[in-house]
């Protein structure tokens, strides 16, 4: 019993501010790639997240409630007018957490989003690998901000308040400025 508690408490600390993002490999489905007008899938790994640039990662269940949770943050990000490439935007969508019978609709929505935002990294996780690797809560949303060194500088699971969104935007702006300063030195 004590061993089980020790193991589970170790797992719950998988993501910590100041720590590194545990490796995540998604060999099937994976990243949506846009070639011309055609969208295909390729295996994806968190190892592809570039150092030297902040990364804003969304991990979400393939549910309408997840989209509604992050919509105000996405609106703020789009209205901020960030220069292309100043930060990496990565969305990992847990298809294993979709409501029964909605996978076709989810795939169609992912394709539509990739066409609308070709620079964004969209990843279809068909087996819940992200939940396991990062020890996240199912049926929800997690927002993870990595600094230019790949360290977690912000982590939030669940609903996002206006204060949470303000904090994310402020931390992202700070991480972008830090990355630019590192690049200039």
pLDDT band of residue 65 (cuts 50, 70, 90) is confident
Domains belonging to the chain, first-starting first, are 14-184 (3.40.30.10)
The pLDDT of residue 41 is above 50: yes
Q: Are the beta carbons of 45 and 133 closer than 8 angstroms?
A: no
Q: How far apart are the first and last CA of the chain?
A: 52
Q: Are the beta carbons of 55 and 153 closer than 8 angstroms?
A: no
Average pLDDT, the chain: 86
Tokens at residue 51, please?
């150092």
Helical H segments across 58-161, by residue range: 64-80, 103-116, 129-134
- What DSSP element (H or E) covers 34? strand 25-35
Percent over 70 (pLDDT), the chain: 89
Q: Are the beta carbons of 53 and 83 closer than 8 angstroms?
A: no
- What DSSP element (H or E) covers 168? helix 162-184
CA dist list (Å): 64 to 42, 44, 68, 126: 25, 24, 6, 17
Mean pLDDT calculated for residue range 8-30:
78
Lowest mean per-residue pLDDT among 106-110, 124-128, 167-171? 106-110
SS3 content of the chain, % helix, strand, coil (to 5): 40, 30, 30
- What pLDDT is attached to residue 100? 65
């Amino acid at each position: 019993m004590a061993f089980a508690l020790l193991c589970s408490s170790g797992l719950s600390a998988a993501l910590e501010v100041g720590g590194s993002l545990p490796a995540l490999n998604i060999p099937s489905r994976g990243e949506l790639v846009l070639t011309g007008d055609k969208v295909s899938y390729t295996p994806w790994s968190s190892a592809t997240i570039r150092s030297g640039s902040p990364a804003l990662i969304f991990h979400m269940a393939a549910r309408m409630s997840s989209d509604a949770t992050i919509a105000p943050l996405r609106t703020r990000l789009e209205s901020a007018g960030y220069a292309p490439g100043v930060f990496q935007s990565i969305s990992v969508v847990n298809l294993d957490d979709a409501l029964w019978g909605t996978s076709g609709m989810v795939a169609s929505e992912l394709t539509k989003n990739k066409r609308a935002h070709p620079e964004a990294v969209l990843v279809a996780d068909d087996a819940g690998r992200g939940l396991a690797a990062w020890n996240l809560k199912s049926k929800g949303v997690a927002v993870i901000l990595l600094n230019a060194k790949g360290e977690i500088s912000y982590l939030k699971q669940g609903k996002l308040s206006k204060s949470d969104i303000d904090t994310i935007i402020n931390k992202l702006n700070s991480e972008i400025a830090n990355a630019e300063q590192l690049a200039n030195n």
